[in-house]
Structure 1
Amino acid sequence: MTICRLCGSANLTGVVDLGATPPCERFLTADQLDEPEPTYPLHLRVCTVCRLAQLPPLITPEDTFTEYAYFSSYSTSWVEHARRFVADRFAGPGSLGPDSFVVEVASNDGYLLRHVVERGVRCLGIEPSANVGQAARDRGVPTLTEFLTPEVGAAVRAEHGPADLVVANNVYAHIPDVVGFTEGLRALVADDGLVSIEVQHLLSLMELNQYDTIYHEHFQYYTVASAQRALASGGLTLVDVEPLPTHGGSIRLWARPGGEPGERVLEVLAREKSAGLHELSGYADFAARVARVRRDLLRFLIEAADEGRTIAGYGAPGKGNTLLNHCGIRPDLLPYTVDRNPYKHGRFTPGTRIPILPPERLAADRPDYVLVLPWNLRQELTEQLSYVRDWGGRLVFPIPHLEVV
């Protein structure tokens, strides 16, 4: 029986069932192609009591994050997003200063804290993946290789003191023990400090058909209402929220040990309620809209292949593997994809086993169409791939609906 990980209720109802897929970051080596590949159900449910949307914890964070294939610094726009965030924290009344202490949880390869280091301000990253954590240390970012728990948070506080700012970007969805993780954040932050959390907004996911962001390492999907309850479970109060364009529509949650919800929190709560997400009615037709995305993309790829058009992919993100597996897209329809991350070169996408090559392959092959899998980086990648126009090639974006540009 599936139990809600926030409130403990057994009353969960299905939102969309994407079948069974392998973990989205388990890229295969050539030697693994003849080996069995485990798959796990990918069925999103919502709790009828607390309204937390969630997947059952069929894999553990240790399965995914001990060695990780995602390095944040390969996204130019994401590094710039982090730079602006840090700059804003050191400007204006009540800002951080030279004596501040900043902690980032799931700090990846130091993409954000490197901007804090440049200012000479004390900081620490807590990153469970040994390989990306080492990349951060190589950049001069102090990094502890650990998963955040209440005990780890207390130990860091005891050794380094309380943090004036705790940052947790794109991790609050990645932990099955949401209460324990939140307690860890509370242990890290000073009584008068702030916690900043960035996470995809379930409202955007639902409105824009962003179902490919549903994958096993995302254990839950937040509205502001469910995030508010989750933060409270660990002793934190949601005091502000900022809508963000990142990842197709995210929210930055500002929390602290005390205080009251601000005006923007109430505004976003009202938007969610209007969309029906505080009741079960708002989830009713999502599965039908997901099926339409699948049919449209498959129809396009099949017709292009029948017409003798050449197609290649761009990117090998986790979300892309949800899309490829759900649609049943294999090398007959997408012969290969390319990615900037050298870690993935020579490997194959999980489940669909599509080869991943260096980006230079596109210019060499000059395909008619390039299927852009990290659609959330549309502006950045449209600029990066402008050279595709030189031979009359076109970009294909599958989400929120099929678009050829």
Structure 2
Amino acid sequence: MTTCRLCGSTNLASIVDLGATPPCERFLAAEDLEQPEVTYPLHLRLCADCRLAQIPPLITPEETFTEYAYFSSYSASWVRHAREFVSGAVRRLGLDGDSFVVEVASNDGYLLKHVVAQEIRCLGVEPSVNVGQAARDAGVPTVTAFLDSETGAGVRAEHGPADLVVANNVYAHIPDIVGFTHGLRSLVADRGWVSIEVQHLLTLVQHNQYDTIYHEHFQYYTVDSATRALALGGLSVVDVELLPTHGGSIRLWARPTEAAGEPSERMLDVLAQEKAAGLHELSGYTEFAARVGRVRRELLQFLTGAAERGETVVGYGAPGKGNTLLNHCGIRPDLLSYTVDRNPYKHGRFTPGTRIPVLPTEQIAIDRPDYVLVLPWNLRDEITEQLSYVYEWGGRLVFPIPTLDIVGSQP
């Protein structure tokens, strides 16, 4: 990658190089195990001019999202988060039966089903055929499309402008930031609102959350860089909320620039936090790669030690972030015999690159392993509760990030 996809600068500095991995959601069927896998460089860089952190766009969204393995509704905490967001947005914006809500990358309807329940007109725009069909089956109106300015204009012409456009956990997934942002502006009414949730680069760097770097995530935002990106499409950020999701996220509230007004005090506070951490210049990133190396060494020392002692270690979850971690650490079935997942779509498949079997969650209770390595560490509270039965036979839970943490008894 030689130029910034946001501003066109060639002044790009390395933050961390994670080698080369397969796409994180490209799980393998048994018949694929004798075939080669394509890997792509996973190297995060920072534009020194506009301060956008980014990886090269080596795969297209069409390759990843036309058929997708991730269904949001399998996370109870995520569904609860969506329900609370909808309730809060209805109150904040005064939405009612005359309003119209559009969600971009609406997945299986996990969020819009709460809008439907409040009898507010809505529409999902979801590129993945399989999860979009699941949304329609659940009663959520959904069109299958990738958002760009043309798609946004077409939806607006057919359905009218949206009072609220929701784009949760998608703004990092689009290499054409400018075209996507113009699509958001096309969808939203001239005095409407756009709400965007995306992982916060501040927490990613401060808490060693490097496993959230993968090929689906083309860029990684501070409030500073997100504000600059949205401005190119005619949207201005006026408020920011700090969220615990994904280990630390930001919810950006934006409006068409002509209706925006002044930024809130809490937005200014978050910008000040980012600046104090050095993330508005290169200095805030210089130690990150060294800390990533320590995470890798700690986890490998634990796994190899357990193997030497004859102790069993299995995984819990098969998220995209887990596959970055497994590939970067070079973990294979000799160190992690299998992982489990609640999503039946992944059962009987194998993790990309590391080729670790993915089994139903019930397998843990059958095998009673000594340790369970929790790969979706961002759902720590939810998963700790789900796995409380592991303590019954003296099993322990292992969380790899931000530093290795082995939980030996119920907290």
TM-score, L = length of structure 1? 0.99
Partner of 1:283: 285
Q: Distance in 2 between matches of 1:12 and 1:95?
A: 43
Report the secondary structure of 2:20's partner residue.
strand
How far is the alpha carbon of 1:91 from its aligned partner? 2.4
Q: Give me the whole-angstrom Cα distance separating, in 1, the residues matched to 2:122 and 2:90.
A: 14
Match in the other structure for 1:183: 182
Q: Which residue of 2 aligns with 1:46?
A: 46
2:315 aligned partner: 313
Q: Distance in 2 between matches of 1:314 and 1:28?
A: 18
Paired with 1:104 and 1:25, the residues of 2 have a C-alpha distance of 22
Q: CA separation in 2, counterparts of 1:89 and 1:38?
A: 42
After TM superposition, which residue ranges in structure 1, 4 or more long, deviate above 3 angstroms?
none
Structure 2 stretches lacking a partner, 5+ long: none
Alignment of 1:248-327 (within 5 A): 248-258=247-257, 259=260, 260-327=262-329
Give 1:89 shift: 1.9
Distance 2:86 2:380 in 1: 24
Q: Which runs of 5+ in 1 are unaligned?
A: none
Alignment of 1:78-93 (within 5 A): 78-91=78-91
* Partner of residue 26, structure 2: 26
SS at match of 1:90: helix
CA separation in 2, counterparts of 1:280 and 1:64? 31
Percent of residue pairs identical:
78
One-letter code aligned to 1:247: H
Letter in 1 for 2:173: H
Q: What is the one-letter code of the residue matched to 2:59?
A: I
Residue equivalent to 2:227 = 228
Aligned-residue offset at 1:329 = 0.2
The residue that corresponds to 2:348 in the other structure is 346
Residues 6-405 of structure 1: pairs in structure 2 closer than 5 A:
6-91=6-91, 94-258=93-257, 259=260, 260-405=262-407
- Corresponding residue SS for 1:282: helix
Give 1:265 deviation, angstroms: 1.3
Matched to 1:48, the amino acid is: A
Per-residue CA distance 1:346-377 (angstroms, 9 max, x = gap): 00000000000000000000000000000000
- Give the partner amino acid of 1:185: L
What's the counterpart of residue 3 of structure 1?
Answer: 3
In the alignment, the residues of structure 2 paired with residue 26 and residue 2 of structure 1 have an alpha-carbon distance, to the nearest angstrom, of: 27
- Give the SS at the match of 1:153: helix
- Post-superposition Cα deviations, 1:67-121, rounded to whole Å, max 9, x if no partner, equal 00000000000000000111112226x4111110000000000000000111111
Q: What is the CA–CA distance in structure 2 between the aligned matches of 1:90 and 1:22, rounded to whole Å?
A: 40
- Aligned pair count reads 404
Q: Which whole-Å CA distance do the structure 1 matches of 2:3 and 2:348 have between them?
A: 40
Question: What code does the residue aligned with 2:150 have?
Answer: E
Shift of residue 261 of structure 1? 1.8
Q: Shift in Å at residue 59 of structure 1?
A: 0.3
Structure 2 residue matching 1:278: 3-state secondary structure: coil
**TM-score, normalised with respect to structure 2:** 0.98
CA distance in 2, matches of 1:74, 1:204: 25
For 2:275 and 2:248, the matched residues in 1 are separated by 17
What's the offset of the Cα at 1:2?
Answer: 2.1
2:363 aligns to what SS in structure 1?
Answer: helix
RMSD value, Cα: 0.6
CA distance in 1, matches of 2:400, 2:389: 20
Distance in 1 (alpha carbons) for counterparts of 2:384 and 2:253: 32
Q: Please give the secondary structure, in 1, of the residue aligned with 2:91.
A: coil
Residue type of the alignment partner of 1:101: F
Amino acid at match of 1:194: W
